[in-house]
Amino acid sequence: MTVRPFRFGLQASNASSAAEWTTIARRAEELGYSAIHLSDHYLGPGAAHGAQGLAAIPAMAAAAAVTETIRVGCRVFCIDFHVPAVLAKEVATIELLSNGRLELGLGAGWVGDEYAAMGIPFDRAGVRIDRLEEIVALMKAYFAGADLDVDGAHVRVHGYRGAPAPLQRPRPPIMIGGGAKRILTFAGREADIVSLNFNNRAGVVGPDGVQSSTAERTDERIAWIREGAGDRFGDIELEVAAYFAAVTDDPDGVAASFAANFDVEPAVMRHHPNALIGSVAEICDELEVRRDRFGISYVTIADRNREAFAPVVERLSGR
């Protein structure tokens, strides 16, 4: 297995002013995070899930404008919230204006209540993944610069070439993630970055999703990615978000608190791929173990943990 150097992303979607967002982006760059991501949610206060203050596309552009080296992305764009050809043009423009710092995350969507709140039909998972497959094909064709001729069941784009041309070659890296077999096999086949996430069939973050993504279950999910990737598995970067994170001198107590919410044992939560709990040294050691076992080298941290995890970023980035 290729041993990739560690990279750390920062996920930050809420700011109350332009000055605050500028500070977040610049501080992430200063601390050595390699990327700043947003989520693609649109609901404001009162939403049961997904409430955030900033829309992804303009916030990505603003972050790129006030930074120099940090990559910008959305983890991930919900393809049903965007007209495919318009999204292609928008992300291509961000790729150019950021001087080639775009990471393109694409997902099939999963929060049914958000779809309902915005009046968007929420198709069954198979249909949404079908649509995602066609949009990934469109993005690759768009960045390739050839005449566009995509005539699928969901995406029909033809008669012109994508512009602007990408600065990254052959195109910006595409991130696809999920927790179930079909999406991870597809990601293995098509993505540059595969994000290991929960199986979100329930539409909420709860025991079902957390239990579907334990360390033991992750072995199975890596096998699905390998199945899709074949000989190109070594070219794929594996990413995971540390949703349950704490730099603490009481790791057992913090793990027990998280575990109680998801009906798992505290020991399971301590080593859960979506958890990072312990001292800086313990967290660094755990990340080394996970890279050796799973190949995971790209870790995303929530902005609320930005400063606490800065020593981890400093110690491991590029190693």
| 103: Cβ contacts below 8 Å, ≥ 6 apart | 35, 37, 71, 72, 73, 172, 173, 175, 193
CATH number of the domain within which 124 lies: 3.20.20.30
Predicted local distance difference test score (pLDDT) of residue 205? 61
Percent of the chain with pLDDT over 90: 85
* Res. 95 pLDDT band, cuts 50 70 90: very high
Terminal Cα distance for the chain, rounded = 16
In 3-state terms the chain splits into helix, strand, coil percentages (rounded to 5) of 45, 20, 35
Residue 111 lies in a domain: yes
Residue 2 lies in a domain: no
Predicted local distance difference test score (pLDDT) of residue 48? 67
How many domains is the chain built from?
Answer: 1
Predicted local distance difference test score (pLDDT) of residue 4? 94
Residue ranges making up the domain that contains 133: 7-316
Predicted local distance difference test score (pLDDT) of residue 136? 97
- What does the block give as tokens for 149? 């001729």
Predicted local distance difference test score (pLDDT) of residue 72? 98
Residue scoring higher pLDDT (126 or 198): 126
Can you tell me whether residue 170 is helix, strand or coil? coil
Residue 1 lies in a domain: no
